[in-house]
């Protein structure tokens, strides 16, 4: 797979479940409530790369907006 010059490393997308791999290093950066993560690692021929994470369980969500942008306010600097 090739995306904008980046290649999927090992042609693998990793699905990691906490129940199967409790001590996996990926879970050290997420709270204990995160049970499943999918990761993919991309790289170019010159050694540049990055990782993509998809939070599976629990999924991400957009919180309800409580900001009332129609109200006046003061700005303090």
pTM listed for this prediction = 0.63
Domain boundaries, the chain: 2-57
> Would you state the pLDDT for residue 18?
94
Check residues 42 and 75 and name the one with the higher pLDDT. 42
pLDDT digits (tens, 9 = 90+) for 11-42: 889 999 999 998 999 899 888 999 999 999 99
CA distances from 57 to 7, 68, 75 (A): 27, 31, 39
With H, G, I as helix, E, B as strand and everything else as coil, classify residue 2: strand
Per cent of the chain over pLDDT 70 is 82
Residue 21's pLDDT is 94
Report pLDDT for 19.
94
**To the nearest whole percent, how much of the chain has pLDDT over 90?**
35
The pLDDT of residue 30 is: 87
């Amino acid at each position: 797979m090739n995306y904008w010059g980046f290649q999927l490393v090992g042609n693998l997308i990793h699905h990691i479940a906490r129940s199967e791999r409790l001590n996996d290093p990926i879970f050290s950066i997420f709270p204990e409530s995160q049970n499943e993560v999918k990761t993919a690692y991309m790289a170019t021929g010159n050694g540049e790369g990055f990782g993509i994470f998809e939070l599976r369980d629990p999924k991400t969500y957009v919180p309800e907006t409580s900001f009332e942008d129609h109200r006046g306010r003061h700005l303090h600097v």
